[in-house]
Amino acid sequence: MRQKIEDYALIGDCESCALVGRDGSIDWLCWPRFDSDACFAALLGEEGNGRWLIEAVGEGATVTRRYRPDTLILETRIETEDGAATLIDFMPPRGKAPELVRLVHGEWGTVRFRSELILRFGYGAVRPWIQRTEGGAHRSIAGPDMVLLRTPVGIREDHGRLLAEFTVSAGETTPFTLTWAPSHGPLPSATSPRQALADTEHFWSDWSARGDVSGRWAEPIRRSLITLKALTHAPTGGVVAAATTSLPEQIGGPRNWDYRYCWIRDATLTLLALMNAGYYDEAQAWRDWLLRAVAGSPADMRIMYGVGGERRLTEWEVDWLSGYEGSKPVRIGNAASTQFQLDVYGELADSLHQARRGGLTGNEAAWLVEKALTDHVAKVWTQPDDGIWEDRSERKHYTFSKVMAWVAIDRAVKAVEHYGLPGDGDRWRALREEIRADIMEKGFDAQRGTFVRAYGGKSLDASLLLLAELGFVAPDDPRFIGTVAAVEQDLLRDGFVLRYDTRRVDDGLPPGEGAFLACSFWLVNAYVLLGRRDDAEALFERLLSIRNDVGLLAEEYDPHLGRQVGNFPQAFSHIGLINAAFNLARADKPSEQRAERTAAE
């Protein structure tokens, strides 16, 4: 039976990750990086496209699961009439080779299990050659990939499947270790599964203890921070938007994108989430990743990059995968990477501004980047763009894009005024006011009293909820109050916020997607800024209630189906949760107010 998106849990080693279903099947795993080809792709196809199932033999097993406190170690407890056992799944912090460890530990009585391992490289397309090594491991090899299965359990091969049946009794532990290595290299050495478990628990517990997290919402904040850390590529500091590709925004629909990349759009909110929680090393690594990724001419800046800063993210379709619940096409790569989005310049400038405010080092080099970026924005801000949500239709003059151009110039002004950095403050101040006047004239619907999605239009966009925290308007400005009211009227669906109304024909997009969870957290923040504390808490608690049983959120939520949709788990959703929780906890001085206030007219 197909698992729902929320039926999955995440395990990872801060370089790659896997999704484990409630049924004990690992249906998604990319090695050796987040954006590498999957060797388990059953999530987007069928069992034969690769998975690893460990399940109790027989009917009627009761399954519960949890993460070990403050870790990314997943424990799935299986209880039958004859006994109970716990399946422990984790990926140790990367040593010489990436590994996935599964331990089956007996609790009481006796439980019979079976294991079925189907490795298929190249997103489920390539069936490997399987050999038994002299040391007793089973080696699967094809092209550049080699994976070894090590276990004391007897394994038999059946048409490319590695099968086993075994029994665990109280106090017994049966280990399985899966290890990846390049096929041209030597066999990776065996490791101790028990030691790997101890090392992994120490890694995550120690990391969690470093954070400055307490109070009413400490548990969801900490789980979201662990998820964010798991989606961070440790060698480079890049944060991927999600662990998956092509999980649909609408079940059965075509809006299926590859999110295993790093978005500039997410830069400032990611930085704030990390710094709010006291994780300055990770914030520094993310800021440094940003500077490396965008190095070069600002005209060549991309909206997203690979985890190493790669720019070529060519999009193609995997025609041999049937898609999650028939949601096709399955896409690898992301063609939106070549779009022109004006907002990313403001986002990058704001993140560099926050880095200065937070005391991160290396800001001299950052200022050189920011000055070049500011001069470029001065040349291009009047152009239409593709917008924050990557519309694949004609370009428009999006209001939020213009506001982010204003942010880019505003942060340059603040760098000169507040930090004494060298720059043409007079010219930038004049340009800031020019952009502001343009937005007020063309991006505001005076009749309705709200900012609009695009110049000359009437529809709204949830990104407009950010205008006060960006410093473009004050929270008590009637224009912001009217915008929040209009978003409530037009974009709220069953209490959750849409990015924009995708049912509108003039967007050139197929209809239908779930409510965007990050935008729903933005409404929480807007309520805090407006002093609507009860509304903020009510919406925040409702958002917490739709997390899955281990505290994870996808990109979107379909309130009609009562299901999570979109790629999973989604960093932007968890970043929204972290920042909203801190804002609620510090409502007297909301932390999401990204910049010192500019006097609103």
Burial class (CB in 10 A: 0-12, 13-18, 19+), 206: exposed
pLDDT tens figures, 80-105: 999 999 999 999 999 889 999 999 99
pLDDT exceeds 70 at position 312: yes
pLDDT exceeds 70 at position 418: yes
pLDDT exceeds 70 at position 510: no
Q: DSSP readout, 480-545?
A: HHHHHHHHHHHHEETTEE-SS-TT-GGG-S-S---EEHHHHHHHHHHHHHTT-HHHHHHHHHHHHH
- The pLDDT, as a whole number, for residue 504 is 45
Over range 453-473, report the average pLDDT: 97
CA atoms within 13 A on the CB side of 127: 7
Over range 119-145, report the average pLDDT: 96
Q: Can you give the pTM of this predicted structure? A: 0.96
What percent of the chain is modeled with pLDDT above 70? 96
Distances (CA, A) of 23 to 50, 63, 93, 349, 379: 15, 8, 25, 45, 55
pLDDT tens figures, 186-213: 999 999 999 999 999 999 999 999 999 9
pLDDT tens figures, 325-342: 999 999 999 999 999 999
Domains and CATH numbers, the chain: 5-207 (2.70.98), 217-585 (1.50.10.10)
Instruction: For residues 21 and 63, give the distance between their C-alpha atoms in angstroms, rounded to a whole number.
Output: 11
Q: Provide the strand spans (E) within 396-491.
A: 444-445, 450-451
Is 411 within 8 Å of 423 (Cβ atoms)?
no
CA 184 to chain centre: 33
Which range, of 241-245, 359-363, 444-448, averages the lowest pLDDT? 359-363
SS3 455: coil
- The pLDDT, as a whole number, for residue 594 is 53
- The pLDDT, as a whole number, for residue 503 is 59
Instruction: For CA atoms 447, 451, 454, 460, give the dihedral sign.
Output: negative
Is 446 within 8 Å of 458 (Cβ atoms)?
no
- The pLDDT, as a whole number, for residue 595 is 46
The residue with greater pLDDT, 506 or 434, is: 434
